[in-house]
Structure 1
Amino acid sequence: MSQPPTRARKPRGITLGRVLGARIVLMPSTIVMALILAVFYAADEDGFSRQGFSIGLAVALLLFVSVFLHELAHTAAARGFKREVDEIVLTFFGGHTQFRSADPRPLEIGVIAAAGPLTNAVIGALALAAAGALDGMAARIVLYAGALNLILAGFNALPGSPLDGGRVVNAIVWAISGDRWKGHRWAAQGGRIVAIGVIVVAVGVPFLRGGQVDIVAAIWAMFLFSVIWPAASAELRAATVLGRRENVTALSLAAPAVGIPYDATVAQAREIAARAQAREVVVLAADGQAAGHFPVALTEAVPEEARAETRLVSVTMPLVRGAQIPAAATGERLVEAVVPWFGRTDVLVVVDEDGLPVGVAKLEEIREALS
């Protein structure tokens, strides 16, 4: 599976080297999987078979190579789009490739994801063809390896996250709708369907047919469900929150404001605010920077006959210098702009492209909109 992280992680494991700039990491759980496969093939009706154990180890080794080639295909595709790949991690679950995905595009996400299952499908087809030309144990090993590759390709191609097929669904929906997070939501819902489908196929179908449920298949189904369902659910929650953030701008959360020089009077401020249809006034210091603010309604407390002589200092609430965010900031850009101000101020000045105040936003309201 391809996995675009927000930042590179270095999991514990055995470093096998580097390929295409990526660190190859072998997790100890991979060895456990090899032993499980060996024992599986060693157990038959006559008991434990040394020959079966040898076949199992050979198949496990070929499967390990196949998983590596699967992840290498992801890596090569990512490098083809000039993405930096941090790691290829081989685990009990198969593996995943971590690459940097700043400013991703649907086409590359889809191509990178599809490269893995396609590689396994090709390996599986070639192995089955080669098995027909071999005899004895070699034929059995290659045949098993081919079948496992086709299973690996088919399973990874299922249309739900966190499987590669889910990434392809994400890319297609994103490309058609233009909504990145809608693609994630569809892929996550697909992942939930796949998780339930695994249980239905392994347990529900045999039960409804009146047959006996295979215990091993049921255990594997529950194991896969426990991996796929939480991952898909987490992606769905994240996509819902992040999608909502994309529709929120700093300006949409702000009270309309207008900037007025500090030496203006309350009467002048009221007149300018009325023309600009502003509910807030941002008081500008001598250098043009925001120094304070006040709601226009607050000036009602100043007697009408005194407004022409009263300076803004009498109604102004001070602002932390530099506490401002771009009006067009949205999504992660808005989060990045807001986070440094938590605990330092209660309000932020929203400015346009020219740096002029156009709004005043309460930090708590921004936090609630982004959470």
Structure 2
Amino acid sequence: MASPRTRGIPLGRVLGARVVLAPSTLIMAVVLAALYGTTYSSDGFSSDGAILGLVVAVALFVSIFLHELAHAVAARGFKREVHEIVLTFFGGHTQFRASDPRPVEIGVIAASGPLANAVIGAVAMALAGTLDGLPGAVTRYIALLNFFLAGFNALPGTPLDGGRVVNAIVWGVSGDRWKGHRWAAQGGRIVAIATVLAALGIPLLLGSSPDLVAVIWAVFLFSVIWPAASAELRAASVLARRERVTAVAVSRTAVGVPYDATVEEARASAHAAGAAEVVVLAADGQPAGHFPVALTDEVPPEARPTTSLMSVTMPLVRGAVIPADAVGEGLVEAVVPWVGKTDAVAVMGPDGPVGVALLDDVVRALQ
């Protein structure tokens, strides 16, 4: 299925992925130009300051692009198809095919972004030492920007790259995918709170007043990080429970009998297998109907040896079966095609039917 396209200004393709610039990034460039233009010099608005602001804005988004490009390169290294690289007002994201992920892939792809910024920052800082004036100032800003991007994105919490590394490590060590997500989400909540506390607390500890701009940025980051971390925590809890749901657990035990059997024969087979349901098999061995064994109690005992199963059978939609070993997301994928088409499916083991699952029961269990 094709991935949805992000709206924005298309910048071309890299590694087969669309590169998209969100229009809000242009606002950032103007804001930085105005900010540097008015603060670069004590004499008021400075054209050098405005130029510096624009250069810093461009450098910021180039650095973000290289950060996301590193993610894309790492993903391609693991044979993942990369769909989009999106640059936004407050960062970016790289969208790639992530089915059947492995911890090592998640960790390496996540770590590649901050690592790229750290390398760029080190190179820029070394280069800045050889330059004077405005070029030197710009290069130092580029170095500091990349160090900031590397350090902040490496913080151990969702939705930052460091959170994905935490997820990968916990998942790899424990073998529990959703435990990794929960740890990363809790880390994200801690990072969100720490960001605000740092903006307020550090200046107070140093005997000065908190900087208004720093506080605004901290509140903004909190408003992004906390909801994302909380959403992942909720999703991880739900999906962890879902992953423990099996087809057999949500079905009623059943035994298969041929369509030409009698009620008496069906009852005998069910009692021998300890089954609560009977699945009626068509001539080709495929499930064609089902009924609860208790329903046959309504057939008089003297009539059971000669009564056909047609009198008690409820039809099953042709092909409405799910594998007995379906679990978690595999169970979801097996059941979804039958929602709205039938009220029950046969649960099939290697030797035939082992259960009958009512879709209402399955849906409740997966929720």
TM-score, with structure 2 as normaliser: 0.95
**For residue 295 of structure 1, what is the aligned residue in structure 2?**
292
**For residue 214 of structure 1, what is the aligned residue in structure 2?**
211
Alignment partners' CA distance in 2, 1:48 and 1:233:
43
C-alpha distance after superposition, 1:184-203 (max 9, x if no partner): 12111211111111111112
2:20 is paired with a residue whose SS is strand
Alignment partners' CA distance in 2, 1:322 and 1:290:
8
1:47 is paired with a residue whose SS is coil
**For residue 242 of structure 1, what is the aligned residue in structure 2?**
239
**For residue 10 of structure 2, what is the aligned residue in structure 1?**
15
C-alpha distance after superposition, 1:11-65 (max 9, x if no partner): 1212212122122111111111122222222222443222111111112222222
Alignment partners' CA distance in 1, 2:357 and 2:168:
35
Letter aligned with residue 121 of structure 1: A
Alignment partners' CA distance in 1, 2:206 and 2:364:
51
Letter aligned with residue 265 of structure 1: T
Alignment partners' CA distance in 2, 1:350 and 1:206:
64
Alignment partners' CA distance in 1, 2:48 and 2:107:
42
**For residue 96 of structure 1, what is the aligned residue in structure 2?**
93
Alignment RMSD, CA only?
1.7
1:253 is paired with a residue whose SS is coil
Task: Figure out how many residues of one structure are paired with residues of the other and give that number.
Answer: 365
Q: Which of 329, 336, 353 is 1:357 aligned to?
A: 353
Letter aligned with residue 28 of structure 1: P
2:84 is paired with a residue whose SS is strand
* Cα deviation, residue 252, structure 1: 1.2
Q: Which moved more, 1:321-330 or 1:358-367?
A: 321-330
| Pair 1:165-2:151 in alignment | no
* Cα deviation, residue 204, structure 1: 4.3
* Cα deviation, residue 147, structure 1: 0.8
1:198 is paired with a residue whose SS is helix
Alignment partners' CA distance in 2, 1:67 and 1:317:
60
Alignment partners' CA distance in 2, 1:285 and 1:128:
76
Alignment partners' CA distance in 1, 2:4 and 2:320:
33
Instruction: Say if 1:7 and 1:100, in contact at 8 Å, map to a contact too.
Output: no
Listed as ranges, the matches of 1:142-161 within 5 Å are: 142-161=139-158
2:93 is paired with a residue whose SS is strand
**For residue 3 of structure 1, what is the aligned residue in structure 2?**
none
| Pair 1:112-2:106 in alignment | no
* Cα deviation, residue 332, structure 1: 2.0
Alignment partners' CA distance in 1, 2:207 and 2:293:
76
Listed as ranges, the matches of 1:1-371 within 5 Å are: 8-44=3-39, 45-206=42-203, 211-354=208-351, 356-371=352-367
Gaps of 5+ in 2: none
Letter aligned with residue 145 of structure 1: I
Alignment partners' CA distance in 1, 2:204 and 2:272:
74
Alignment partners' CA distance in 1, 2:197 and 2:2:
37
C-alpha distance after superposition, 1:140-179 (max 9, x if no partner): 1111111111011000000111111111111111111112
C-alpha distance after superposition, 1:230-254 (max 9, x if no partner): 1112222222222222111111110
Gaps of 5+ in 1: 1-5
